Chain A
Amino acid sequence: MKNSMLSNLGLTFVAASFGTAVVAGPALAEYPDRPITMMIGYKAGGGTDTVGRVLAKVMGEDLGQQINILNKAGAGGGIATIKLKKAKPDGYTILLNPSTSLTLNPYLVKKLTYRIDDYTYAGMLTAYQAALVAPIDRPYNNLKEFLAYAKKNPGTKYAALNSTARMVMNVITKDSGLDISIVPVKGGAGMLAVVFGGQVDLAYSGGIHQQHPTKIKLIAAGTSSRQPLGPNIPTLREDGYDMSFDSFTTLIVPKKTPKAIVAKLEAALAKAAKNPDIIALSARVSFPMAHRNGADATAEMHRQWRDYGKLIKATGTTAK
């Protein structure tokens, strides 16, 4: 008796603190009438997590209910995306993830069986700024100059933090006869450490380089358009490589979430995109604002899915 009470108490505690338990909600008109759980596909401390935490606070104040953050890291946001697919479509479990965890990662990882049509999109908030970067003291300032340097200096080193980064270098060096060693690094922090220490000559960055303009310079923009911090630096596409790595923080809900609830979340996100706290934060983490409503976000997801599919095919990459 005592034991079962204790375990009940435990369950209630866990459920209450993290809002993961789902209780059947009453009429929709009252949404939200209890705290919402916002999953984030990354560990606490990263850029996505930071944006998510402030967004949760701002949207929660607007909706009149607390939004709790639940970090569900793993498989590049994939674990959280799978969890969301299984979640009850009642608007009380939502997900903030980079769009590429749905539009690119399933091409690279076999186990990620979800597809973009398995979800509904309430909108996008900020843009990631993928780029090729180099230590500030290197003698080259764009991709062409870097390639000339690499030709003269065999054994030039490139830091790759994921399989996308590796793919970029493989495309660039294909048929060029260049000898570039790829150094694996772990996460943005690992990349910064080798670039600051001058251990590598080039690196792929998800956008964190922008916080260190005195130590790192942009060599090529990985996005489809040029980047605010380096308007003179061409994109990879302008350099003649048919690829770009656009990604946006996207607010995702389960497919069958009622339209009225999605509309409420969409409105709250749109309002948040104008909130000064969010705008200031976006500048600090160097994720430029890129708000899109639900319909535009869905179109963008489809565009990315098509483009990445083409790229994957062209590079002959297979899912593992």
Chain B
Amino acid sequence: MENLIGGFQDILTPVNIAWIALGVTIGYVVGVLPGLGKGTAVAVAIPLTYYISPLAAIALLIGIAKGSTAGSAVSAILLNAPGEPSSAPTALDGYPLARQGKAHKALKMGLFASVIGDFISTLVLIVLAAPLAEYALLIGPVELCAILLFSLTFIGGLSGSSLSKGMIAACFGILCSTVGLEIETAIPRLTFGVLELQDGLPLIPVAIGMLATAEMIVQMGNHKSIDQQTSLLDEGNASREDKIVLWEDWKYCIPAIGRGTAIGTVVGILPGLGASVGSFLSYGATKKASKRPELFGKGAIEGVAAAESADNAVVPASLVPLFAIGIPGSVIAAILIAAFIIHGVTPGPMMFVEQPRLVYGIYAAMICASLLLLCIGYFGLRFFALVTKVPMRMIIPVVLFLCAIGAFLQGDGIFGVMVMLAFGVIGFLAKKLEFSFVTFLIGFVIGPSFELTFRQSIALLNRDITQIIDRPIAIAFIVLTVLTIWRIAVANGKKNQLAQKDSEIPKT
């Protein structure tokens, strides 16, 4: 505690606060821009930090990471064009809310949920980093494999109306994720002789194509009706209730935020799962627990809260393995390692021995960043919400341009842009034919980790499935998976019965 007070003394100088505020602002704006995500923002900013003190530099970068994670909700809600896969579930309910004229409400809830998730997860990092990291190591590849299997099934069960179409989309996602060098013997798979494909389809361009580019193509086709809707919204926009978060909304959202924060924190601590798994699991769990599941996908405010709280809780939690044992738990943590080392800090347990003052300074900076995020986001969203009033024909080219830049930066140049365009077309067809792009993305994101951990499990269990007896966590998740499948089957059976009854009624 004394250390933390020392940390605050270091960080609460006008200069350092200005750097954090700058970081959060840059991050938030970059996050808002569709196509540009936190990975791009932090990597591009590293050279900017060479000339400032280590504490200010790391504070700036963490500010960017936090700001952009929260900012990506804005484009998801306003344009249905999430910048990153992890904010895709935010769009599922955020965009319908925006089209109902409740953009302000959705944006505010998204921001509050982001800040709460981020803040609590930061506290967990500060208080429990070391003991939690030791526990996380007990979760080996076999356990991770079982957890991924459960996540895949659980999230897959959410897919739209048709289970078979959802499964087709998920399998297609997994198929796309197998492109590249096979993990054990390094034999190229489905690369068709293209060298760039040796390392697989790049995640960010695929996600941008599927999420943002495809959506822009759809909106291009509807731009007249969307604009008409927008002008109608303007007239009926006066209602205060649609602009603020009411107590009634909080009632639905508080449990969702609590659940999302818990899920996001746990997912963040375990290396190899990632923010997408966190936000999708949280969205799914909230839908399952809800008393009004029929509202999900049509504008349930707690859907936004669930996705955003988990998405943001992952960021600080993914620093737990980095700080406590020196292993990066996420892409963002991997990029931060370089920044830490350049500024003379080797992440890991020795950091607490060698530079305790700096570590607590970073902790204090993270808390400040949470609070600044609330202020900057709150002012920012009034401004960004104006986007809904801009005619689509002006928004679409700007968004497509930003998407191309994002794909260029994250996908090795023009190759990334081509991948983005190809998946834009696939995404457009998927939307028109009502295949769930959500299950596709989850298949694509989880696919490689699932394959890797499955193969690791085979080796670790000596090709003998009975050895799983020694791993109770893995067994628990396999049982959960079976239960999930059973519940989906029962629910589908009921739905089919109802459908049959409905079709029988006209006959009688």
Contact = CB atoms under 8 A, between A and B. Distances in A.
Interface of A: 3, 6, 10, 14, 20, 43-46, 49-50, 53-54, 57, 68-69, 71-75, 78-79, 82, 108-109, 111, 155, 157, 162-163, 166, 181-186, 189-190, 192-194, 196-200, 211-212, 214-215, 280-281, 284-285, 320
A281 B271 CA distance: 26
Nearest to A72: B412
A53 B47 CA distance: 8
B187 interface: yes
B188 interface: yes
B53 to A, nearest CB: 15
A181 B462 contact: yes
B337 interface: yes
Contacts of B193: 111
A59 B348 CA distance: 29
Contact of B183 (A109, A184, A280): A184
24 contacts: A44-B335, A45-B334, A45-B336, A46-B338, A53-B342, A57-B50, A74-B195, A74-B198, A79-B196, A111-B195, A111-B198, A166-B184, A183-B456, A183-B460, A184-B455, A184-B459, A185-B452, A189-B328, A192-B326, A194-B456, A196-B137, A197-B139, A199-B140, A199-B141
Contacts of A198: 137
B341 A320 contact: no
Given A46-B338, A72-B413, A197-B138, 7 more contacts: A74-B195, A82-B195, A155-B462, A184-B459, A196-B327, A198-B137, A281-B342
B460 A44 contact: no
B405 interface: yes
Given A73-B412, A75-B195, A196-B137, A49 B338 contact: yes
A186 B198 contact: no
A29 B272 CA distance: 51
Given A49-B338, A72-B412, A108-B186, A157 B459 contact: yes
B401 interface: yes
A184 B184 contact: yes
Given A14-B408, A196-B325, A211-B326, A45 B186 contact: no
Interface in B322-358: 325-328, 334-338, 341-342, 344, 346, 348-349
Nearest to B464: A155
Contacts of B459: 157, 181-184
Nearest to B409: A18
B140 A284 contact: no
A6 B198 contact: no
B493 interface: no
Contacts of B341: 50, 281, 284-285
B241 interface: no
A75 B397 contact: no
Contacts of B272: 190, 193
Contacts of B413: 20, 72
B43 interface: yes
Contact of A199 (B50, B334, B405, B460): B460
Contacts of A192: 325-327
Contact of B326 (A163, A183, A200, A212): A212
A186 to B, nearest CB: 6
Contacts of B187: 320
B214 to A, nearest CB: 21
A74 B335 CA distance: 17
Given A50-B338, A155-B462, A211 B346 contact: yes
A14 to B, nearest CB: 7
Interface string B32-59: 0000000000010011001000000000
Which 8 interchain pairs have the tightest Cβ spacing? A45-B334, A197-B137, A183-B459, A181-B459, A199-B140, A44-B43, A163-B186, A155-B462
Interface residues of B, number: 50
Interface in B450-471: 452, 455-456, 459-460, 462
Given A75-B198, A193-B271, A199-B141, A44 B397 contact: no
Interface string B132-154: 00000111110000000000000
Residue among B140, B187, B193 facing the most chain A CB atoms (10 A cut-off): B140
Contacts of A199: 140-141, 460
Contacts of B337: 45, 50
Contacts of A45: 328, 334-338
A67 to B, nearest CB: 10
Contacts of B346: 211, 284
B503 interface: no
A318 B100 CA distance: 61
B397 A6 contact: yes
Contacts of A109: 186, 198
B185 interface: yes
B199 interface: yes
Contacts of A72: 412-413
A113 B335 CA distance: 31
B338 A197 contact: no
Nearest to B329: A189
Given A74-B412, A192-B326, A211-B326, A53 B46 contact: yes
B140 A197 contact: yes
Interface in B20-78: 43, 46-47, 50
B358 to A, nearest CB: 14
Contacts of A197: 137-140
Contacts of B336: 45
A73 B348 contact: no
Contact of A14 (B185, B405, B460): B405
Contact of A53 (B196, B338, B344, B412): B338
Interface string B399-415: 00100110010001100
Interface in B383-427: 397, 401, 404-405, 408, 412-413
B60 to A, nearest CB: 16
B344 A280 contact: yes
Nearest to B198: A75
Interface in B184-210: 184-188, 193, 195-196, 198-199
Nearest to A49: B338
Interface in B106-125: none
Contacts of A111: 188, 193, 195, 198
Nearest to A43: B334
A241 to B, nearest CB: 21
Interface in B161-197: 183-188, 193, 195-196
Contacts of A185: 452, 456
B205 to A, nearest CB: 13
Residue among B336, B342, B346 facing the most chain A CB atoms (10 A cut-off): B342
Nearest to B349: A214
B186 A71 contact: no
Contacts of A74: 195-196, 198-199, 412
Contacts of A183: 141, 456, 459-460
A74 B419 CA distance: 15
A39 to B, nearest CB: 11
A200 B272 CA distance: 18
Interface string B201-235: 00000000000000000000000000000000000
Interface in B429-477: 452, 455-456, 459-460, 462
